[in-house]
Amino acid sequence: MTHTMSILPSIARVKQLKGKRVLVRAELNVPLINGKVSDPYRILQTIPTITFLKRAGAKVIVIAHIGRDPQGTLKPVARYMNRKTAIGFVPELFGPRVDKIIADMKNGSAILLENLRSTQEEEHNDAVFAKRLASYADIYVDDAFGAAHRAHASIVGIPKYLPAYAGISFADEYANLSKVLDPRRPFAFILGGAKFETKMPLLKKYVDIADAIYVGGALGNTLLKAQGYEVGRSVAEDVRGAKVLAEHPCIHVPLDVLVEKRDKTTTVRLVGEIMASDCIIDIGPETAAYWAEELQSAKEILMNGPMGFYERGYVDGTKLLLTGIAKSPARSTIGGGDTVALARSLHMEKRFTFVSTAGGAMLDFLANDTLPGVEAIVKNERR
């Protein structure tokens, strides 16, 4: 199956930018601990676009969202960004003060406006809201691939009113993930985490594309349950269609698992020996070693989502697989917040062909070959 992907118009190819006001939708939704950025990975991905525009003499207006709380502020993000490139912080989205600051901007300067999701208009893709934001600029740049699966005002609304381009990080994500749509063979896909319902379309599509799919995490538990195994107190869902997938020859479920017993102690059990009082918290060592070994013969590897209860520190299975991928000669792509955070904590991110900053957006792109944010740029170019 060969995909002819459209080449996205990239801002990096635009010449006359001096004096132009450029509105950049960045992906700055990073974890904060005590008001400080704890993992700057997404910020670092968007710095090249901002510095490119500043050097070209543009007036850069950055917009983004943070967290789920409408009261959440991007101030700590601006503070962190200033370590990499000078950027002013404006603690609101609209109003006379914002208008004046933008009117007074000098060529080669940048500002960050407050949290886009401080109002509901952003998520409702409100046309008036999108138009107001568009009025700030001459050009729109989307550098937030991680949010491109959402049909929000800043993603699909603004491109209706301005010439639109992909940012450097966005274009990079698109180009690299597009390669996975036309994989080298043999192709191995490792899928973990939870939310079986949302990952079902992806599994259904990839059983016909991948040579092997290794499923762990709560997804693996769901498939074990569908195969009739006892999964005890584990996180698992009853999903229609899971049984058909669980029995597909291309899908591999764990052979052994790490379980937490009622008394909070842990032990490794074969999947046929799990007890009703057990809770599965990771794939077992035998499974991890066997899968990591199998990966050595793959030419394309894609991994998204952890194999264990990541929040509680059960990361051994995921670590072993990441190490296996890093050793393999395959073209490798990893994504998903927890997976990437773990790879970074192990200082392994340079050992993969591509590390995606996108979680849900990556999975949606692979399932549908496109995203609302991609379509908005493509349609804009056709106009």
**Does residue 58 belong to any structural domain of this protein?**
yes
For the cut 80, the answer to whether the pLDDT of residue 108 exceeds it is: yes
Q: What is the CATH number of the domain that holds 62?
A: 3.40.50.1260
Asked whether residue 217 falls in the same domain as residue 161, the answer is no
Asked whether residue 161 falls in the same domain as residue 193, the answer is no
What is the average per-residue pLDDT within 96-108?
98
**Does residue 26 belong to any structural domain of this protein?**
yes
In this predicted model, what pLDDT tens digit does every residue of 114-135 receive, in sequence order? 999 999 999 999 999 999 999 9
Asked whether residue 30 falls in the same domain as residue 136, the answer is yes
What is the average per-residue pLDDT within 329-354?
94
Which of 157, 284, 308, 337 is labelled catalytic? 337
For the chain, report the end-to-end CA distance as a whole number of angstroms: 29
Asked whether residue 106 falls in the same domain as residue 237, the answer is no
d(CA 287, CA 89): 49
**Does residue 30 belong to any structural domain of this protein?**
yes
Q: Residue 36 — pLDDT band, cuts 50, 70, 90?
A: very high
Q: Are 64 and 74 in contact (CB under 8 A)?
A: yes
**Does residue 52 belong to any structural domain of this protein?**
yes
Asked whether residue 280 falls in the same domain as residue 150, the answer is no
Which of 42, 150, 199, 225 is labelled catalytic? 42
For the cut 90, the answer to whether the pLDDT of residue 239 exceeds it is: no
**Does residue 350 belong to any structural domain of this protein?**
no
Q: Are 164 and 375 in contact (CB under 8 A)?
A: no
Q: Residue 195 — pLDDT band, cuts 50, 70, 90?
A: confident
Which of 195, 233, 269, 299 is labelled catalytic? 195
Asked whether residue 30 falls in the same domain as residue 160, the answer is yes
- Is residue 337 annotated as part of the catalytic site, yes or no? yes
Count CB neighbours of 160 within 10 A.
17
**Does residue 335 belong to any structural domain of this protein?**
no
In this predicted model, what pLDDT tens digit does every residue of 152-173 receive, in sequence order? 999 999 999 999 999 999 999 9
Count CB neighbours of 323 within 10 A.
15
* Main-chain phi, psi angles of 348, to 5 degrees: -110, 0
For the cut 80, the answer to whether the pLDDT of residue 287 exceeds it is: yes
State how far Cα 17 lies from the chain centre: 29
- Looking at the structure of the chain, the number of domains it has is 2
d(CA 51, CA 54): 5
| Residue range of the domain that includes 73 | 11-175+369-382
**Does residue 4 belong to any structural domain of this protein?**
no
What is the average per-residue pLDDT within 37-50?
95
**Does residue 107 belong to any structural domain of this protein?**
yes
What would the two tokens of residue 185 be? 């063979």
Asked whether residue 205 falls in the same domain as residue 98, the answer is no
Asked whether residue 76 falls in the same domain as residue 31, the answer is yes
Which of 217, 220, 305, 360 is labelled catalytic? 360
Query: In the 3-class helix/strand/coil scheme, how is the chain assigned residue by residue?
Result: CCCCCCCCCEHHHCCCCCCCEEEEEECCCCCEECCEECCCHHHHHHHHHHHHHHHCCCEEEEECCCCCCCCCCCHHHHHHHCCCCCCEEECCCCCHHHHHHHHCCCCCCEEEECCHHHCCCCCCCCHHHHHHHHCCCCEEEEECHHHCCCCCHHHHHHHHCCCEEECHHHHHHHHHHHHHCCCCCCEEEEECCCCHHHHHHHHHHHCCCCCEEEECHHHHHHHHHHCCCCCECCCCCCCCCHHHHHCCCCEECCCEEEEECCCCCEEEEEHHHCCCCCEEEEECHHHHHHHHHHHHHCCEEEEECCCCCHHHCCCHHHHHHHHHHHHCCCEEEEECHHHHHHHHHCCCHHHCCEECCCCHHHHHHHHHCCCHHHHHHHHHHHC
For the cut 60, the answer to whether the pLDDT of residue 2 exceeds it is: no
Q: Are 174 and 145 in contact (CB under 8 A)?
A: yes
Asked whether residue 22 falls in the same domain as residue 163, the answer is yes
- Is residue 42 annotated as part of the catalytic site, yes or no? yes
* Main-chain phi, psi angles of 76, to 5 degrees: -60, -30
Count CB neighbours of 212 within 10 A.
19
The mean predicted confidence, pLDDT, of the chain is 95
- Is residue 195 annotated as part of the catalytic site, yes or no? yes
Asked whether residue 157 falls in the same domain as residue 272, the answer is no
Asked whether residue 217 falls in the same domain as residue 313, the answer is yes
Q: Greater confidence, 241 or 208?
A: 208
Strands 256-260 and 279-283: antiparallel
Asked whether residue 254 falls in the same domain as residue 169, the answer is no
Q: Greater confidence, 200 or 211?
A: 211
